[in-house]
Amino acid sequence: MCGVRMRKFSGRAESRVGVDGARGDVTVRRFHEGDVEAVLAISAESREAANWSRESYEKLAIDEGASAFVVEVDGKISGFSVGRQVKDQAEVLNMAVRADHRHKGEGSALLSAVLDEFGLRGAKNVYLEVRESNTRAISFYERHGFSRSGRRKGYYRAPDEAAVTMERKLTAPIG
């Protein structure tokens, strides 16, 4: 799983994870209001991530229905993931890791946290969209059990681009 050693996310506020090659203490925890600035900065440097407004992230921080997490290395936020769920269907809406922290397992830890929470909440299927040109992200999600399920022409703007739709079936949580 991309070099990540992680116990199942328990839904608690914080989970320390072992990430191979990490330079320090790595923690995945819930997103909160104080994280908005860091998340905006990561989003701005991540051309592939959805470009959300400050207001969107501020609302997300108080939305109890959202599944939003950040990963910290030595207390500094290096990535985030955001998802939502309606009944047994869930969606990963946005995810990014700072460029200098990629390929170290932090993205895998974030994805595991959001998928674990979806599973604990009873989701059966998880969906997402990826820019068609973002072959690294498509490969990342395929390595984590997602399969391509379709294509949406003209889905993204600036630049205009198709989206590859992907889906993953979840199994019932153990325990």
Phi-psi region for residue 87, left (φ > 0), alpha (ψ -120 to 50) or beta?
A: left
Question: For the segment 89-113, what is each residue's pLDDT rounded down to a tens digit?
Answer: 999 999 999 999 999 999 999 999 9
Residue type, 161: E
Compute CA distances 117 → 87, 93, 112, whole Å.
Answer: 13, 14, 8
Q: How far apart are CA 21 and CA 3, in angstroms?
A: 8
Contact 167, 123 (CB under 8 A): no
Q: Which helix (H) or strand (E) holds 152?
A: strand 147-156
Domain extents in the chain: 4-169
Residue 50's pLDDT is: 83
The domain 4-169 having CATH identifier 3.40.630.30: the answer here is: yes
Question: For the segment 42-94, what is each residue's pLDDT rounded down to a tens digit?
Answer: 999 988 888 899 999 999 888 878 899 999 998 999 999 999 999 999 999 99
